[in-house]
Structures are given as C-alpha cells and as structure tokens.
Structure 1
C-alpha cells in the first residue's frame, strides 16, 4: 500500500507539473461504414446453412464498421456471370466454385466437381493448404484482378433421379442438371448436361425438362427441396467433395482495414468448419434414416470404368497449360500418398 500511495502521489505531481503527461480519452473515429454485396451460388434454403451463419457472425463482430449484405443464387446476377460482375465491382464478393461462375482462368476446370479429385471432403482443404493449391489459386486470380480468399469443401456429387440407376447403361440419355466440367466428363457415358437457374430445378424435374440432378450429395437434395421431385439416390459419387471458394473484388478488398480482413478470414474458416461436419453427418444420417429416397448403386467393378476414365480426363486437362499440368501433378501425388497411407485415408 505504501508503494501504491507513493506511486499515486508521484503521478499526481507529474500531472500537475505537466498537463500533457496523461493522454486524452480514446474516441473512436466515426468513419463511413463499409458495405459489401456478396452473392452465393446457393439458393435461399441452402444458403441458410452454407454461408448465412458466417455472414451474420461477421456483421455482429464488425460492430458497425462493416456490413455484408448476402444475396442468394441468381438474385443479383446469373451464376455464370458472377465473376465478371465481381471483377467490374457490380458486386463486391462471391461464394462459388470457379467452374460455375465461369472464371477466365485456366484452373476453373478444377472448381466444383473435378472428377475423382477427392474421395472425402477433408481432401479438399488438405490439397489447398498442405499440398500447395492455395498458392496456385492466389496467383491465377491475381492475374485477372480478383482476390481469391479461401477454399473449402462441400458435399460429394451423386445422382438423384426418378428412375433407378443400377448400371452405367442406365445413365444413357438422362438430361442432367450438373456442373460444367462434371457434365463434360459424364457426357461420355451418355448423359446430356443441362444448365438452368438453381431455383428452377424442382419445376424442371416435374415438367421433364431434366431427368436427374448431379449437383450435390443427399444433404442438399433434402435441404433444397429436391427430395420432393426425385425418387432415387445413386450412392456412387463422381467426386467426394465440392471445391468452392470465397472471392472479392481486389480494390474492395484492399480498402478493408487489416483487423476486418482478419475477422473475415476467421468467419470464412468458421464457415468451412461448419460445412465439414454438417455435410458429413447429413450424408450418413439421411442415407441411414432418410427413407424418402430409395438408394441404388452401380457395382464397384463397373463403376471403376468411370474412375479409370477420370484419370484419362486428368491427363487431357494437364495438357492445357503449365499450370493445369502442375495441379494434375499435385492431385496425382496427393492421391498416391493417400493410397499408400492406407486406412483410414483410403479403404481400397
């Protein structure tokens, strides 16, 4: 106590002798609030799970300094025009895959569902942050004036149909709503890829404009309401995890203060983590307990034909540019490592 009294007495004498010795109270500068418009690939119902929690958390934690206004699939611009709209500054940020939003970069082919690039959802962030894809994506988008921010995994790619699929031959002639690269790959097995707005899928299934959906796993079939217009779910998947990212207009990103950039990065990480367990649990639970869709399967030996064709497709993509060749090299290295590691990384 004596030491404390001595300190306070001394501090008082210093303050009296020199009024500027004590700093003035901190007053937060009333800067203009930053407002972003962010559009997601996801429809309204799906967006509530795959991005809304992260946006709401950011807006709350930003404490009035910044606000992200969230728009769902095709609400401001069609999904295929997302990149150009963001590049031009019509919108500030995007959550999508490279393939769907038609990015003018050579690596767009790997976005969404690049056939058999992953077996499980955890493969996607591992490829980006442990095997070097993040650096490649950052470089590619820097070249076109857009800031690539963060990649994560979603669900696998399966078929939901109104007729049972039990053999490869059953795919022939199906008009399928799917992603550009997945559709290009699967067309060799007789499917006809169809591109329509996300929200038009249920009506298109009812009217017969499309016969099947190969856009998601079973979690999204239920969440997006597609379970009401389909009867069967094929358990074989074309890829184990959808690869998607957050992007921003480069100028808008550069205007954001560092502490808000850090906050946004944390919220993106939170979003990626949420989806990992939401999809992983949902895929299993709805297969086990869903009941509303009959599960069908193509025998493993026959489905291996599709996997083998995927590796031929990889080699064709590798020939496009030195950068696509580097990505394919990483995919081959990664999958070889997983096979060599064995269980639980790969089960044959």
Structure 2
C-alpha cells in the first residue's frame, strides 16, 4: 500500500523530473504585434483596450499586442492596405471605413435596415453563413478575418432638431461610406473627415451632424455637447465591426495564442453588446444633453422601403453581394415570422 508520505516524496520527484524534461512554452523573444482600431482614444477605452489588455496579461510574455487609436499610425481609410502590406499587423474596424477592396465591404458598418438588434450580428455570422463568406473573401486578399461583432445602432445627432424627412435635406453629416450613399437619396450630404476632427467640425459649423453611432457614443466621445439633438429613428440596429490580421503574421502565431486571441475578441464583442444595449436606453431616459426627436412613422416607412430597393441595387453588383443580401433577407423574413420579441407584430 502506498502511504501518504511515499506518495508525496515520489510524486514530488516525478513532477520535478517532468518539469526539467518538458520544453519551455515560450522560446526566444515574444511575438509583438501592432494593432490599430478605428476608434479614437476615448471610445477605444471601451471598444478595444480591455480586450488587448486582457490578451497581453494572459499571454504572459509570449506575445504582446500594442494598441493604436484612430489615425495614430495611418489614416482610417488606409488601414486595410497598411495591414495587407505589413505596416501594421492587425485591425479593429468595419470593412467600409478601412476601404477594404472586397465584395463584402459594402455590408460593413451600417448596411441600411439589415439589422434591428445587436444580437442580429452574431446570429447572421454564426448561424446564417456570413462568417464563412467573410473569411473566404479576406483570404483572397491575404487577410485573416478573425471575428465579427456588433456595436451600437446608427442614429442622427444634429445641431438642429430633425422632425421630418424634409429636415434632413442639405445637412452635412459625418457618416460611413455605404450609409452616406443611401442617405444621399434623402438629401443628406455625406462628409468624410478624420475621426478626431469631428467634434471641432461640429463646433465650427463645418458639420451639421453625425450619423455614426447611437447615443452612448455621442455622450462618451463628446458629440452630445457639440450637437444637442438626437433622432430616435434608427438607420440600422447595429454596426458590424471586425478583428482582422495580416495572414502571414497570423500564421506565425502558435495555435494556443490564436485560440486565446479569438476568445478575448469574442469577450470584447460581448462587452460591447451589453455596454451599448444598456447605454442606449439609459441615456435616452436620463441623459440631459440631447433633446430626443422622432420622424413620424409614415414618413420613416418610405426610408425603410427605399432600403429594400437599395439591397437589390447592391445585390445586382456581384454574385457575392447577391449571396449576402439573400442571407440578410432570409434572416429578416425568419425574424418577422417569429414575431415578438424578434420583430414587432
């Protein structure tokens, strides 16, 4: 019979021998990556930094990701090319903002009225095949699509109140390329500027408003002070954003660190989901910097109808775009048939 004393002594010796024989987990210098996010420093504290801090801590010296905010290394519109040529190793952005030359770029950010709630994003990517489509399209460009997640809805924040579709005409608005293309149908004038310049542009009158985020972001980054009016009608219920990496750099990462990165980024997606979901409701109720306005339902219905025509317009451009639009239509039809809480009756 093995006694407790002999077990402890023989066990300790065996454990020590195993430890000496086992190869070191980390060999040589740690891997170092540079990642740039679309978000400025204030917003990045929520949407990017916690995930990168967690990864660096858990990686325990084997790998380190250095985080940069909007336009710090390269302009946001050059993020894709910089990642593709290896100037930076990874990116957190939507496809649209970083000018990705893929067939799916038009769906990044806010594709008008495709999503009602933040949960629609992971549902589409994980259960309706969008993740596979994105990975295939980015592989053609030498990029690893790591994962997609949802951010906040898209609402107008403006200096002058918006109470009708007529009030949108002529408004110079900072927004995403595809959203701007759609909103131009209603007289909106899309404006492209560096993210960090938006607050000043609102203060000086260069911009009349933004259609870039929900109310949480308006308060977080200071746009609530520079606008003062929030339109409750939403262009999209959630923003689609992603984590990407240069494929060669991704291939250099050990499998266990790849899994860690994916897990940490999934946690990041989850954090944003509840942070925005809670913030959107709370600030509409308790926020004191923005007056809420609403375009009447009958007028807004014409915008929704135009979005469906816009989908077909996009689908006609390529087979891949048609495939994505078909998935979006299939999903929304299922949600509508399911009724509350998925969609209103």
TM-score (norm: length of structure 1): 0.94
| Alignment partners' CA distance in 2, 1:279 and 1:345 | 18
Asked if residue 89 in structure 1 is aligned to residue 81 in structure 2, the reply is no
Matched residue, 1:19: none
**Residues 175 and 7 of structure 1: is their aligned pair in 2 closer, same or farther, counting only changes over 3 Å?**
same
* Deviation at residue 31 of structure 1 after TM alignment: 1.9
Asked if residue 221 in structure 1 is aligned to residue 189 in structure 2, the reply is no
Asked if residue 3 in structure 1 is aligned to residue 29 in structure 2, the reply is no
* Deviation at residue 6 of structure 1 after TM alignment: 12
| Alignment partners' CA distance in 1, 2:306 and 2:296 | 16
Post-superposition CA distance 1:312-334 (Å, at most 9, x none):
00001001111100000000000
* Deviation at residue 32 of structure 1 after TM alignment: 1.4
* Deviation at residue 23 of structure 1 after TM alignment: 4.5
Matched residue, 1:330: 327
| Alignment partners' CA distance in 2, 1:3 and 1:274 | 50
Equivalent position to 2:60, from 63, 71, 74: 63
Q: Secondary structure at the match of 2:28?
A: coil
| Alignment partners' CA distance in 2, 1:269 and 1:69 | 19
| Alignment partners' CA distance in 1, 2:6 and 2:221 | 66
Q: Secondary structure at the match of 1:37?
A: strand
**Residues 95 and 3 of structure 1: is their aligned pair in 2 closer, same or farther, counting only changes over 3 Å?**
same
Equivalent position to 2:247, from 240, 243, 250: 250
| Alignment partners' CA distance in 2, 1:54 and 1:294 | 33
| Alignment partners' CA distance in 1, 2:4 and 2:201 | 81
- Aligned-residue CA RMSD in angstroms? 2.0
Asked if residue 76 in structure 1 is aligned to residue 73 in structure 2, the reply is yes
Matched residue, 2:195: 198
* Deviation at residue 51 of structure 1 after TM alignment: 1.0
Asked if residue 124 in structure 1 is aligned to residue 121 in structure 2, the reply is yes
Matched residue, 1:342: 339
Asked if residue 233 in structure 1 is aligned to residue 230 in structure 2, the reply is yes
| Alignment partners' CA distance in 2, 1:109 and 1:27 | 47
TM-score (norm: length of structure 2): 0.95
* Deviation at residue 30 of structure 1 after TM alignment: 3.7
| Alignment partners' CA distance in 1, 2:265 and 2:251 | 17
Equivalent position to 2:45, from 42, 45, 48: 48
Q: Secondary structure at the match of 2:170?
A: coil
**Residues 168 and 264 of structure 1: is their aligned pair in 2 closer, same or farther, counting only changes over 3 Å?**
same
**Residues 27 and 325 of structure 1: is their aligned pair in 2 closer, same or farther, counting only changes over 3 Å?**
closer
Q: Secondary structure at the match of 2:157?
A: strand
* Deviation at residue 4 of structure 1 after TM alignment: 4.1
- Map 1:20-35 to 2 at 5 A: 23=18, 25=20, 26=22, 28=24, 29-35=26-32
Matched residue, 1:308: 305
Matched residue, 1:162: 159
* Deviation at residue 227 of structure 1 after TM alignment: 1.1
Post-superposition CA distance 1:73-120 (Å, at most 9, x none):
001000000000000000000000000000010110000000001001
Unaligned runs of 5+ in 1: 16-21
